[in-house]
Each structure stands twice: as structure tokens, then as C-alpha cells.
Structure 1
Amino acid sequence: MNKLMRLHWLWVLAFPFSASLAQEGARPALKLVVPYSAGGSTDYVARLLQKPLSEILNQPVIIENKPGAAGTIGTDFVAKATPDGNTLVFGNQGPNAIVPAARPTPYDPINDLRPLTTVAFMPLVLMTSADLGPKTLKEFLQRGRSPGTTMNYGSSGTGSLAHLTGHEFSRQGKLDMTHVPYQGGGAVTTALLRGEIQGSFATGLESAALMQSGKLRFLAVTSAKRLPTLADVPTLAEEIPGFESTLWFAVFAPKGTRDDVAERLRNAVVKAVERPEFQKYLAARHAEARTSTPQELTQLVKQDMARWGDVVRKAKIPM
């Protein structure tokens, strides 16, 4: 056997061992848990983050949907996961602030999760059917305040931010409105188009396409100021001073995650959010990509626990 052949066979015999070493040295996939079903705003933004985060970490990132119990099942799964940096939750103020403030949950949102950073902020949009609903915010308010008139508004679930925003809109705006819960945003949209409900609150991610198609009409946004992408749509605060409601998304790790691991993961998420294509995509859908420090995120959770927990308790909303 000549020298070249001997080298060839040595490489062939050694390759399986080399490959196994490479596999052992590779990082396992990072599991990013979304505590809701696929297709909603939370899932949508998590999947938008998935590719850049994987590229920055040089590690596979897998989205795992664990819906149920208003987002608390998936959140609890991560709170109890091994704190090795391979399992994170992509949360919002639902399971991270509103639900724990309203009823006991199997995890403490402050003590059982380690905040990394916010990812995006989205004001909600008051929508109605372009054919069957009121044409302007003033008309909506006038109709809702008319004696003997009852209006319905829908949301994707009892206790959701859309539900609580609608409740506060009705209370502060002195409207006679009845909440109708549905299973998911698609069912809410269908009810709007059929005239079963007169309004609903949703994000631009869920409604931009239908608004552009002319089937839905945006009456107002819940941000403090008008949005640059919807400059002709008024804020609710223009008619109800001080009204504001914003949905946020953030990444959390299990509480015991080491400092260096948490910092590496946070830096990667921040870099992914700062990518121009990520920012532009959300901006076009009336949302803002924005990161925070862990301390700022903790404060945000506490603020929403106080604010929305108070709303739930006073209104005796079952959660």
C-alpha cells in the first residue's frame, strides 16, 4: 500500500472519532419558549428574533410553543427549567405581570425568573369593521354613550391586555360596552367583520394587512402620542386624557442562571434587536423594537403588576 493510500485510510478511520468530538463540542439548541399558540403577536415576534439570535450565538434556536392557562404553563416550565442558558421564555405582561397579580401562579414572576431585556413595545389599535362599524373615534364614543345603546367589544381571552384595555376604555370613556371573549385573534376579526362586535383592540402585527385591504378601520391607538406610521389615526388620549396601554415583549431566563451566561444571552438578544432589518420590520407594523437593562425590565413588571392587578381586582374579572 503506497503512502497516499495509507494516509487516506488513516483519515477514514479517524473521521468518525473527529466527528464525534465536533458534536460533543457543539452547543445544544437554545429553546425559546413561547407560552402561547403559534400565530399570535408573541409567537410572531419570537420567530422574527429566532434567526438573528441563532446567527449571533452561533447556536440553533428552537421556538417551542407551550400554551395554556393564560401563558402561565409555558412560563412556569421555564421558571423550573435547568438554569444552564439553554431554555428561555419569550414573555409579555400577561403571564409575567397581570395574571400573577390577579391570582396565585406556580411561579413568582420576580423571584423565579431572571430578566434579560425587553425586545419590543406595541401600542394597541382600536379597530372596527370598515363596512359595519363607526367611521371615527368620536362617532364610536357618541354611539357608546347614547342612552339605551349597548356595544360589544371582543378580545382573544378574558384577562388579556386587549380585554383589560377595552374595560378601561369603556370605564374611563363612560361607555356601555360588553366584553365578548374569543379563542384567538382570528375569531375576533371574523366577529368584527360580521358585525357581532363593534370594536376590538389588537396590535398592528395582527391587523395591518386587513386594514390595508380596506376590511378593517383603525379608529385610535393606545400610545401617548400619534404613531409616525399612522399619523392620521388619533390617540385615545385625545378624547380620554391620560389613557395609554402598551403591550411589551421580553426575554427571561430561569432565576439560577449564572451571571456570565445571562450576560452572554442578553448581549446576543440586544444585538439581534438592534439589527436594522428587525427594527424596520416592526416599525412598518406600528411597533418599536427596544431593549432595556434587566433592572428596567424588573421595574416594568412591577409597574404592570400594580396597574393591571388593581384593574382586575376592582372590576372582579375572573382570571
Structure 2
Amino acid sequence: MTSCGSGSANSAVKEDSTKNAKSNQVQSAAVGNDRKPLDTAEYQRLMTYLANGDSSGRWPVKSAPLPLAGAILPFHRIVAYYGNLQSKKMGALGKWSKDTMIRNLLSEVKKWSDADSTIKSIPALHYIAVTAQGAPGKDNKWRMRLSQRWIDTTIAWAKEINALVFIDVQIGLSDLKSEIPLFEKYLSMPNVHLGIDPEFAMNGKGGKRPGTVIGTLDASEINWVGDYLTDLVKKNNLPPKIFMIHRFTQGMVTNAKDIKLHPELQVVMDMDGWGPPDLKKGSYRYWINEQPVQFTGFKLFYVNDTEKSGQKEMMSREQVLSLKPKPIYIQYQ
């Protein structure tokens, strides 16, 4: 299995897991399942808080509809470990043993809650279920569909710590319509959400293999997924589904202004690039802040942001929280 890592921000800009620790650090399992009516005043207050004094008029996004009851955002900040259980190189989720990973994740969740007491942080396991490959495979799609038993394992681990689960898809030379419906039984669960990665979407790139150039998805393709998730929410009477999109260059998402928003959906545009702080901040400014969709995310790399960037440490929580708008989804790779 190829370890396809996220791209550099240079491309953009130019305790122990004991019962006590878990109960102290993790929000109730009912997060996202509490179907009390939406507190619209609190929603608006937190959206303004996340805008962080932005004076451009872009944030908070005025065209965004109020979400259905049970919405996770902006009432909680998601802190996710991303990766694959079969690879130590694809991210924090598979880097350590289960117990060490959970202990590290819960420690990060607590640190984020301490850094921003206005919005309580909750954990998530973000599992790459379809991975881009450096070989074409039998169907010449340059992606591997992993056994769904690993999703079952991820969901079981998440249940132990009351965490959310994200299924992430790298399509290679396949397409979203072929890959996303494979996970319908999981996406029909209230605690399972979706991420897609345009970096490894290679249609429209002249048949080049993943990892040789940065891929792209258009708003029209993203909207198909949004409509699909919206229909699942309606059909299964679910709380809003979180839909996360990776991005660290302009070309990764074309026509972002045309991405449709729904009360059944909460769209997070995640700044996915690695590099020194100034480059990461620049990527966030140009491709996340200045092209608003709805909510924002920020990825931190344990290795690439330090060893490969010549830095001693990753960006601090305080530095990330100073961004305009404040990211509501934090992902560790």
C-alpha cells in the first residue's frame, strides 16, 4: 500500500487511557445525537466568535443556512487523528499502538479545550478507507479500496472514547460516484462523517499517477457528494453530517464559491498543507479565508511540519487559534 502523504504548504503560497482519563477528557457519546432544538442565539454567537474579528465581511458566511438539531459545529471543536491502521507512515491514527494512540489523542483534545475554553474539543478518528496508489491496480484506477473490517475496527475504537469517525477517500483515477456509495451503511450512522481529498483526484490531469502532480475536484463533483449526504440524513433522520474537504492550493478545489450548503450538512474546508508557519498561514489565508465555504479546518503534521520543514515544533495551538477565522476542525497526521 502506497503511503501517499499530504502536500507541502509550499505548493500553496508561495494517564494512560484509563476510565478516569476518558471521563475527564471526552465529551458525552451523545455529541451529535442530542436532538434538542437548535439554540440559534448561541449558534450565531459562536459563529461570530469563530470569525475572530474578521473585518472582510467574509466570515461568518452569510449564505450558510441554520443547521438541523444535533449539529456538532460550532458547538464543539473536533480534534482528529488521521491515517490508516495498516500504515505507520500515513498519519497519527496508525503511527502508534492503539493504547498509545488513544492516550496521545485524548491529551491533544484536552490541550485544545484548555487553549480555547469557549468551545469544548472532542476527539475523532479519521480513517483513510480508499488510498491513492503508485501502481494502477487491476482496474487501472490507481487507488486501493481497503477491507471494511478496518472501518469496523475504527468505529469500535471510537466507541470506547466516545469519538466521532471520519471515512476519508482518495479516488485516484476513479470518481466520487463510484467510491462514496460503498460506505453508505457507515455514513448512515449518526457518528460517522466523510472526508474527500482532491490532492489525489487525478481525472483531468492527463492520466498522471497520484503523487506526481496535485489533483483537483470541482464544485460540481463536491456538490454531488453533498447532495448524496443530504439525502442520507433525510432518509435516516440523522443529525447534520460533517463533510470535510482537504485543500492547500487554489487548483485543488475549483469554483469553490459554487459549493452548495444544506441544513443537513456542515462543510469544512481543511487547510492540509505542511511547511513552516508562514507558509501554512499563507495557504490558510489565500485558499481558506479568502474563498469562504462554511467552516474551516487546519492540519498539523507531527513529522512534516518539523523534520521536513526545519522547525523545532509544530505551530502552537495559540498560533492556530489566532487565524481568521478560527479553525473548528483540527487534524493531526
TM-score by length of 1: 0.28
Higher relative contact order (CA 8 A, sep 6+): 1
